[in-house]
Structure 1
Amino acid sequence: MTTLLSLPHSPREFGFYLDGAFHGGRPLFERASPAHGVPVSRIPKCTVADLEAAVVAARRAFEDRRWAGLSGAARGAVLLRAADILRRRRDEIAYWEVLENGKPISQARGEIDHCIACFEVGAGAARLLHGDSFNNLGDSLFGMVLREPVGVVGLITPWNFPFLILCERVPFILASGCTMVVKPSEVTSATTLLLAEVLAEAGLPNGVYNVITGSGRSIGQALTEHPDVDMLSFTGSTAVGRSCVHAAADSNFKKLGLELGGKNPIIVFADSDLEDAADGAAFGISFNTGQCCVSSSRLIVERSVAAEFEALVAAKMARIRVGDPLDAATQVGAITTAAQNDTILGYIARGTAEGAQLLAGGQAVDLGRGQYIAPTLFAGVTPDMAIAREEIFGPVLCSLRFDTVEEAIALANDTVYGLAASVWTKNIDKALTVTRRVRAGRFWVNTIMAGGPEIPLGGFRQSGWGREAGMSGVEEYTQTKSVHVELGKRAHWVTG
């Protein structure tokens, strides 16, 4: 017996968040639930002048050291209070994630739990952040390496994980002592604004966290180009990431953190637990309706068990519960935007046209309202097909076959991306060989999408720059400064 949450009676109107206060008086963007087709939120269409004001506020908060000047313990205490408030408001925030994004409520609740952990880890990291010393420069010279916050950070987040990706960054940025201006996706802004309430209640000083809502084309571009933003963290497509690189170079050479696209392999050997691997493959491509940078979208399976394994995966996919995301029993919810829905269906049609064999799914699911796509499996895929090379960002899995370990590694690396990968085998030699040689920033052995915020995440190649989470995720938002201290009397250069 499951409980179905109800929709709001009318859309909630939000203000943008600037220098510790919510502001209105702007034209509003109305967001309809992708699962239900009814309006759920109204978000301000901010102006570039609003962005400018937010950068000024963040700069002022950084320069007067109201946050950076605190001890790591004091910053950590704010982050721990934020974690406690998130725990109290978990179901509320998860509900708004579902309304705007379309993901299942059970998944959204699990994501908020992960976000709470991010704040707890960030709190500890704030206390542990440190530099280094060099006592080996001789009796007359002492060396230190200081870690200092980079300054004002611009943070641009996507629509697929609006709150999770936000919280994989914000507590670590705050732990470093930086201030920030956040630009969420215009279709999923609500929870980023709810976090402003959480942080204010936790005691974060005004001006440290600012949220400016609007389109990526105007607000996002202006934030990327802003000369008084010291670092930009962007999560999204590789194409837009490339434009961020150009914009940063053309403005102030700001530091960049980029988490971009992926075409991630899941490598299955004949000696693996095939039932476990099949469940991992079905989960890895269907989680968040495949709208996930680390979705395992390329199945690379040993030829001797390929037909058997593909049948197992297809059977798993057929049993996945696609439905209303407000139903706790739902496993796969709605596609977040109409444009993405069209893109996914277009790739499915293209896969069929290219000659791939459709084993599961392949069609839209009609639930009377909203936009849904059944988890889809293609077999008989060759590496040159578009569905094998391009990021689909939907629940579409392409199966390719191999005969040797070397061939599996070559197929896994046959991509411009390098975000995530997994290998399934009971042979430790094969597991470690593949782990070492496949180019990916995150790797799983006999599991998928596992782990917590203690461990850094990020990509190789065209999947991005830098690392988020863990101590690496705090250090990412710092600069290192080398300091030399002369002891005693100077040996004079000018003599006589």
Structure 2
Amino acid sequence: MSSNELLTGAVAVRDDAAELARLRADLSAQAPNLLIDGHWRPAASGATLDVDDPATGAVIARIAAGDAQDVEHAVAAARRAFRDGPWPRLPASKRAALLFALADAIEREQGRFALLESLDAGHSLASIRAGDLPLGLRSLRDYAGWATKIAGEVPMRSSEQAGMDYFLREPIGVVAIVTPWNAPFLMVLQKLGAALAAGCTVVIKPAELAPLSALRIGELCARVGLPDGVVNVVTGTGLAAGQALAEHPDVNLISFTGSTQVGRSIMAAAARSNLKRVVLELGGKSPVLVLGDADLDRAARAIVAEIVFKSGQYCAAGSRVYVQASLHEALLERLRAGMDGVRIDAGYAAGCEMGPMISQAQRERAQEIVDHSLAEGARALTGGRARPGAGYFYPPTLLTGVESHMRAVREEIFAPVLTVMPFADDASAAQIAALANDSHYGLSAKLWSRDLRNVHELIGRIESGQVIVNGGGGEATLPFGGVKQSGYGRENGHVGLSAFTEIKAVRLGY
């Protein structure tokens, strides 16, 4: 590295520190308000919730604790904006222009958003700047482009046919967006962009553990000129605000990313209320298959990078590793070396590669699952115990000697924990796929092999909404979602956009 690069890096660190101090001061002074119908106001009950810095456990902000009363007001505002306001009737090109303007406004503040996300959710600045920020902005701009391309169809007809048949696509109505704490900025933009491009109005309920980026996005929506009531933000707990949205009879669709357990409750509430549509992106326990002809160094680096990304709090992370027996020891050696070299610190600290987990409760649950598996005979080659001191840190953990029935293999731990199990060198594709499919989940699967015949056969046998081979490639925006208990529906691109529309068939006689 040149002296100029060193100087540039040092300046960036100092600038981050100064900006972080300003951000903390601003958050401390920020009133705990909800955004409803274009106005900021406290929760009807006056209740508030504290938001912690996961790296220290200290309170960094106070938010409004919205409940059913506030949800009622927000949904009513969104319904008025949909029924009587200009948004669904705007020319699609004007909706697109406003979405592009929102993306530009967010991009101008990307440095602040990166620090806000790191402080709020605990993730490393490097991962946010390389992942969440560009992916979120790309998604918003992709959907802005799709706004002018939503179309129905007109079937071919004979010259003897009187009249014509066709169908329209129309916005579905009021959408509830319920986002998780592991990627709050990205999840809000992905869901919000699709809903707004389709002409819907929305109520956002961010996770109470990491709600701060959603509130700032709400501010920018108003600043760029979105009409009042089109975007509403209600902070609060899942039991109070989230459940009220799921049960509300005037919400037409709920788009949720989070745990399978909560997804079940949302689907049940949707059925009990008005049969609202649901898009559910739920849990995962993604398998990683490493075959004998894999590039072992590349595979090991990718496996470690993914399990420490967001401190393992990533629904598609490969956490169950199955490796051909002849490579088992060599892979373990590489994984352990990679995990031991990860720099753990507050996400906003210089050089951090992995930050803390989101909360003490989440870390305790991870420890409980690891301890249970260790008691049953698993061995921790590295990690396995929470780091003492302030913050919710948990080291990268590598478990071997595991069996398929153990909790560390069966349950989504949502922590930087890998289990590694060998399979026979002469195992068939059917046997290898059976290992991958031995789960209630089916969100993502990872495959490492240079034999395209094996690759394609395994792709056909794996039960998963996504298969990533040799680290992946390309830049297309592909549909994302799971099978089995990993969810219902798909997000991203025109497939994801279609969920926010309804079809109206027309049989036109003359």
Q: TM-score, normalised by structure 2?
A: 0.92
Structure 2 counterpart of 1:462: 485
Distance in 2, matches of 1:437 and 1:262, equals 18
Structure 1 counterpart of 2:279: 257
Structure 2 counterpart of 1:491: none
Q: Deviations over 1:41-96 (max 9, x none)?
A: 11011232111110000000101241111122111111111111111011111211
Segment drifting more, 62-71 vs 169-178: 62-71
Structure 1 counterpart of 2:90: 70
Structure 1 counterpart of 2:402: 381
Structure 1 counterpart of 2:359: 337
Distance in 2, matches of 1:228 and 1:278, equals 49
Question: Which has a greater percent of helix?
Answer: 2
Distance in 1, matches of 2:67 and 2:451, equals 57
Structure 2 counterpart of 1:490: none
1:417 aligns with 2:441: yes
What displacement does 1:285 show? 1.2
SS of 1:331's equivalent in the other structure is: coil
What displacement does 1:20 show? 1.1
| Aligned residues of 2:430 and 2:461 also touching (Cα < 8 A) | no
Distance in 1, matches of 2:320 and 2:190, equals 26
Equivalent of 2:144 in 117, 123, 131: 123
Distance in 2, matches of 1:132 and 1:456, equals 22
Structure 2 counterpart of 1:486: 509
What displacement does 1:327 show? 1.7
Q: What does 1:119-158 align with in structure 2 at a 5 Å threshold?
A: 119-136=140-157, 138-158=160-180
Segment drifting more, 337-346 vs 7-16: 7-16
Over 3 Å counting, the alpha-carbon distance change for 1:432 and 1:12 in structure 2 is farther
1:22 aligns with 2:40: yes
Distance in 1, matches of 2:81 and 2:90, equals 12
Distance in 2, matches of 1:207 and 1:453, equals 33
Q: What does 1:4-153 align with in structure 2 at a 5 Å threshold?
A: 5=17, 6-7=20-21, 8-9=24-25, 11-13=28-30, 14-24=32-42, 26-110=46-130, 111-136=132-157, 138-153=160-175
What displacement does 1:24 show? 2.7
Over 3 Å counting, the alpha-carbon distance change for 1:467 and 1:452 in structure 2 is farther
Distance in 1, matches of 2:397 and 2:182, equals 19
| Aligned residues of 1:262 and 1:293 also touching (Cα < 8 A) | yes
Segment drifting more, 321-330 vs 223-232: 321-330
Distance in 2, matches of 1:439 and 1:21, equals 46
Over 3 Å counting, the alpha-carbon distance change for 1:451 and 1:32 in structure 2 is farther
SS of 1:377's equivalent in the other structure is: strand
Distance in 2, matches of 1:135 and 1:250, equals 40
| Aligned residues of 1:453 and 1:469 also touching (Cα < 8 A) | no
Structure 1 counterpart of 2:331: 309
Structure 1 counterpart of 2:3: none
Over 3 Å counting, the alpha-carbon distance change for 1:452 and 1:292 in structure 2 is farther
Distance in 2, matches of 1:63 and 1:345, equals 50
SS of 2:76's equivalent in the other structure is: helix
| Aligned residues of 1:117 and 1:453 also touching (Cα < 8 A) | no
| Aligned residues of 2:66 and 2:240 also touching (Cα < 8 A) | no
Q: What does 1:82-481 align with in structure 2 at a 5 Å threshold?
A: 82-110=102-130, 111-136=132-157, 138-366=160-388, 368-403=389-424, 404=427, 405-447=429-471, 454-481=477-504
Runs of 4+ in 1 over 3 A off after TM superposition: 450-453
What displacement does 1:453 show? 7.4
| Aligned residues of 2:285 and 2:411 also touching (Cα < 8 A) | yes
SS of 1:307's equivalent in the other structure is: helix
Task: Return the letter of the residue paired with 2:279.
Answer: G
What displacement does 1:369 show? 2.1
Structure 1 counterpart of 2:6: none
Segment drifting more, 304-313 vs 400-409: 400-409
| Aligned residues of 2:54 and 2:121 also touching (Cα < 8 A) | yes
Distance in 2, matches of 1:452 and 1:190, equals 29
What displacement does 1:399 show? 0.9
Task: Return the letter of the residue paired with 1:23.
Answer: R
Distance in 1, matches of 2:292 and 2:334, equals 13
Q: Deviations over 1:276-304 (max 9, x none)?
A: 00011101211100111111111011111
The share of aligned pairs that are identical, in percent, is 37
What displacement does 1:451 show? 6.9
Distance in 2, matches of 1:97 and 1:21, equals 24
| Aligned residues of 1:121 and 1:453 also touching (Cα < 8 A) | no
Task: Return the letter of the residue paired with 2:148.
Answer: R
What displacement does 1:219 show? 0.9
| Aligned residues of 2:394 and 2:416 also touching (Cα < 8 A) | yes
What displacement does 1:170 show? 0.6
| Aligned residues of 1:152 and 1:231 also touching (Cα < 8 A) | yes
Which runs of no fewer than 5 residues in structure 2 stay unpaired?
1-8
